[in-house]
């Protein structure tokens, strides 16, 4: 008997497929992207009665019509050789609609097991199924499940083991669509058979015949079938003349007609259908007047939960990496391999720690998102915001990632997976960096108090955030009308019933996203941290403009100074030496070289160098500028650095710096996640270049208009 099997898990969105996948595979999962598209691929493995099973979780779709990237992925995966069984998950609370996909899967003649999931919801609705009749109709065994409960899949495991042990005896359903249509299908199928296409020998020709008659996009891409197009059009013309049947809809009409008959004979109501609790909740949550305020409150609570719960863990992680760095420095002598010592403590530990410190935010954020998704509220949020977002070329589901972008762009981009439309998802990813993330806040907190009077500070901060939102929405509208232009898409917003999420499902969701964040963003940050360390260190300056050691000795010998004053004065001297060394390094030289390019937008070489370093993380801008101004890596609120900024820059220059930081790419981690989610270095590179040009041109216009009209050229009082 065969001991290993490949099973495809198929079903509609919101049918509980993910819960069943998690229950069967646990943590033994692999998450990635399908080649060429930004659709998530997920597979897992488990053992059942000594049988090794690979479970492939296909994207949730309503049909195999290839009208979306998800449907194309399912079509290509399901027609590949090597699938032993299809596990088709059905939302048994809405059986007639859910079984539409089943009729198409049945045409593949692959053994199939139907899991009538959410059987508890179906029972509450008063639905009663004649399982033996349904099994005979579809030629497949049926098992009733409750995927969201820990013991809700036990019967599924028993039935799955039984099905796999008897695959050779599995029935083959014979779908019939009426004499004339069946005749047309058979004529096209005979033409396909005559081609003897070895690549698709394992797929019934009848399946492809139906798809060609439907003008299915994916099948029409198969070059081997081009010679059949003539027969296909002849049969469509025949059906059109005889029955006035439209090729685009006739198969769907036939399938729904079949299902109506099948459900009428096998499904009954044991009691009068009552209004469900979900409907009562929705009367409030999606209310015309209350829906938006409640949504904003829930988003606020999501942020509050994320940052409140994450704060202690973040502090612990920061302390841990600080302890590691100090411990290495304490046992590693400064004069023994100093470059390697500093690379490990400042480059690797500092760089990786800077990423991992945000991990609690990622975990708690996606834990909260998982609650909203699994409970059914995320669909309501999309519904509430849909009308507003469509005015800017997006859909309601885009709003949540955009709001999350105020926290961190990386998890916000990852959160765009809730958007089903490929075009809307890409547009959302492209404009997300324009939302002012938390990493930019230290820059604003440094510049605004230094260059703007107290009464203007809140207004300037608000203005910066508002500019980001306005530019993002305008950019979305432009992108939908140009680069991502296409026919308007109609989205069917399904409002699934509210459900209680399972802890196991929530934890697995956190695990997937957390692992993805560390693997993708962490590796990029590690590489760039090492690279920046090298750029900030070499070449090393041997001769300085003054005798810094002598200056330090004078301070130590000055008995008139207190110990605290000596420490502060010594720090200033040391940092002056650091600033001179920095100007001599690769980073300093690059800053000097690029200064003519950035001078028209108000930047000098020091701000230019800090901007380049900030590609690793925007917070680096502050510490880099502090070193360059011989005040050390001071905090944003430290007065000496503010004093230096006030001496060297005008409010207009400060606003230009903030504007450029707002509109340019936040960090290389954002670029890496963008590439991963869009599956294209070209689009990621185009976004980085496009944002740079947007930032440069906008800042150039604002800065030079300010110079022209003498606005912001002195400290505002």
9-66 residue pLDDT tens: 999 887 888 889 888 887 666 655 544 554 667 888 999 988 999 999 998 888 887 6
- Residue 382: strand, helix, or coil: helix
What pLDDT, on the 0 to 100 scale, is given for residue 638?
A: 38
> Residue 273 — pLDDT band, cuts 50, 70, 90?
very low
**Tokens 């019509």 appear where?**
65
Q: Above 70 in pLDDT, residue 101?
A: yes
**Torsion sign, CA atoms 639, 642, 644, 646:** negative
Residue 59: closest CA among 10, 103, 21: 10
* 201 vs 194: CA distance, rounded Å: 12
Helices (H), 26-168: 69-78, 95-106, 119-125, 131-138, 154-165
Please tell me the predicted confidence (pLDDT) of residue 517: 63
Gap between the Cα atoms of 365 and 708, Å rounded: 46
Give the pLDDT of residue 525: 60
CA angle 558, 560, 565 (to 5 degrees): 80
Give the residue with greater pLDDT, 526 vs 468: 468
Higher pLDDT, 634 or 641: 641
Instruction: Look at residue 647 in the predicted model and tell me its pLDDT.
Output: 83
Assess whether pLDDT exceeds 80 at residue 499.
no
Tell me: the pLDDT tens digits for 293-348? 898 788 778 767 876 788 788 778 878 888 888 899 899 988 889 888 888 887 77
Residue 131 makes CB contacts below 8 A (sequence gap 6+) with 142, 144
pLDDT at residue 237, rounded to an integer: 85
Average pLDDT score, the chain = 82
pLDDT tens column, 593-618? 999 999 999 999 889 988 887 877 77
> Please, what are the domains in the chain?
4-169 (3.40.50.300), 179-269 (1.10.287.1770)
Contact 24, 7 (CB under 8 A): no
> What does each C-alpha distance from 189 to 255, 258, 316, 620 come to in angstroms?
19, 21, 66, 64
Predicted pLDDT at 671: 87
Query: What pLDDT, on a 0 to 100 scale, did the predictor assign at position 636?
Result: 36
- Name the nearest CA neighbour of 405 among 436, 378, 441: 436
Give the chain's count of helices (H) and strands (E).
Answer: 32, 9
Is a pLDDT exceeding 70 seen at residue 492?
no
Weakest mean pLDDT among 171-180, 431-440, 498-507: 171-180
pLDDT surpasses 70 at 539: yes
Coil, strand or helix at 137: helix
Residue 597, judged by CB atoms within 10 A of its CB (0-12, 13-18, 19+), counts as exposed
pLDDT digits (tens, 9 = 90+) for 398-414: 877 887 787 778 878 87
User: pLDDT value at position 258?
Assistant: 78
- What pLDDT score was predicted for residue 637? 38
The pLDDT of residue 84 is: 92
Least confidently predicted of 342-351, 518-527, 588-597 = 518-527
More confident residue, 213 or 383: 213
Give the pLDDT confidence score for residue 30 in this predicted structure: 61
User: pLDDT value at position 631?
Assistant: 37
Average pLDDT over residues 63-91: 86
Higher-pLDDT residue of 436 and 504 is: 436
What mean pLDDT is predicted for residues 523-547?
78
Nearest-angstrom CA–CA distance, 311 and 317: 10
pLDDT, greater one: 545 or 396: 545
What's the whole-number mean pLDDT along residues 89-100? 88
Identify the pLDDT of residue 618: 77
- The 10s digit of each residue's pLDDT in 420-435 is 677 888 899 999 999 9
The CA distance from 664 to 621, in Å, is 13
343-373 residue pLDDT tens: 888 777 766 675 677 678 778 877 887 888 7
Which pTM does this prediction carry?
A: 0.59
At residue 171, the 3 state secondary structure works out as coil
User: Among residues of the chain, what percentage have pLDDT more than 70?
Assistant: 86
What is the arithmetic mean of pLDDT over 277-296?
Answer: 82
């Amino acid at each position: 008997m065969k001991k290993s099997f490949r099973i495809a898990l198929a079903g509609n969105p919101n049918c509980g497929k993910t819960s069943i996948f998690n229950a069967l595979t646990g943590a033994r999962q692999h998450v990635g992207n399908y080649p060429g598209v930004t659709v998530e691929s997920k597979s897992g493995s488990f053992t059942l009665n000594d049988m090794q099973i690979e479970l492939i979780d296909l994207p949730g779709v309503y049909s195999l019509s290839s009208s979306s990237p998800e449907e194309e992925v399912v079509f290509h995966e399901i027609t590949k050789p090597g699938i032993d069984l299809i596990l088709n998950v059905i939302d048994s609370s809405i059986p007639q609609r859910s079984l539409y996909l089943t009729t198409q899967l049945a045409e593949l003649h692959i053994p199939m097991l139907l899991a009538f999931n959410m059987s508890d919801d179906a029972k509450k609705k008063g639905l009663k199924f004649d399982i033996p009749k349904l099994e005979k109709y579809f030629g497949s065994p049926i098992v009733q499940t409750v995927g969201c409960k820990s013991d809700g899949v036990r019967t599924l495991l028993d039935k799955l083991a039984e099905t796999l042990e008897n695959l050779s005896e599995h029935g083959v359903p014979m779908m019939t669509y009426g004499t004339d249509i069946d005749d047309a299908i058979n004529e096209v199928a005979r033409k396909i058979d005559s081609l003897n296409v070895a690549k698709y020998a394992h797929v019934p020709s009848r399946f492809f015949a139906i798809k060609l008659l439907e003008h299915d996009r994916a099948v029409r891409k198969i070059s081997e079938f081009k010679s059949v197009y003539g027969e296909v059009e002849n049969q469509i013309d025949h059906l059109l003349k005889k029955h006035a049947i439209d090729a685009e809809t006739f198969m769907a009409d036939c399938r729904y007609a079949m299902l109506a008959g099948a459900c009428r004979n096998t499904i009954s109501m044991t009691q009068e259908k009552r209004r469900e609790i979900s409907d009562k909740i929705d009367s409030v949550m999606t209310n015309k007047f209350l829906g938006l305020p409640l949504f904003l409150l829930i988003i606020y609570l999501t942020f509050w939960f994320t940052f409140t719960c994450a704060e202690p863990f973040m502090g612990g992680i920061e302390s841990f990496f600080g302890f590691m760095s100090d411990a290495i420095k304490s046992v590693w002598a400064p004069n023994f391999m100093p470059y390697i010592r500093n690379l490990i403590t400042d480059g690797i530990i500092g760089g990786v720690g800077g990423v991992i410190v945000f991990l609690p935010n990622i975990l708690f954020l996606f834990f909260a998102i998982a609650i909203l998704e699994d409970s059914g509220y995320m669909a309501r949020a999309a519904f509430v915001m849909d009308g507003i977002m469509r005015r800017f070329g997006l859909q309601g589901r885009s709003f949540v990632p955009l709001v999350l972008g105020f926290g961190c762009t990386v998890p916000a981009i990852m959160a765009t997976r809730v958007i089903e439309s490929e075009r809307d998802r890409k547009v959302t990813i492209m404009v997300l960096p324009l939302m002012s993330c938390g990493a930019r806040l230290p820059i604003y907190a440094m510049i605004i108090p230094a260059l703007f009077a107290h009464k203007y500070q809140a207004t300037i901060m608000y203005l910066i955030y508002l500019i980001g939102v306005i530019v993002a929405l305008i950019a979305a509208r432009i992108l939908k009308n140009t680069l991502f232009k296409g026919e308007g898409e109609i989205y069917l917003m399904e409002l699934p019933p509210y459900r209680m999420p399972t802890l196991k499902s929530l934890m697995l969701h956190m695990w997937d996203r957390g692992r993805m964040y560390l693997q993708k963003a962490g590796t990029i940050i590690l590489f760039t941290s090492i690279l920046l360390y090298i750029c900030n260190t070499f070449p090393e300056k041997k001769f300085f403009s003054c005798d810094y050691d002598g200056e330090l000795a004078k301070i130590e010998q000055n008995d008139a100074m207190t110990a605290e004053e000596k420490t502060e004065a010594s720090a200033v001297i040391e940092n002056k030496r650091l600033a001179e060394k920095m100007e001599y390094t690769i980073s300093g030289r690059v800053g000097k070289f690029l200064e003519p390019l950035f001078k028209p937008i108000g930047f000098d070489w020091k701000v230019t160098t800090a901007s380049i370093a900030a590609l690793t993380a925007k917070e680096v801008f502050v510490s880099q500028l502090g070193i360059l101004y011989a005040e050390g890596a001071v905090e944003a609120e430290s007065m000496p650095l503010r004093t230096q900024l006030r001496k060297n820059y005008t409010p207009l220059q400060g606003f230009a710096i903030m504007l450029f930081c707002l509109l340019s790419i936040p960090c290389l981690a954002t670029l890496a996640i963008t590439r991963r989610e869009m599956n294209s270095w070209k689009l990621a590179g185009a976004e980085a270049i496009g944002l740079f040009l947007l930032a440069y041109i906008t800042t150039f216009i604002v800065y030079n208009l300010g110079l022209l009209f003498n606005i912001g050229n002195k400290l505002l009082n």
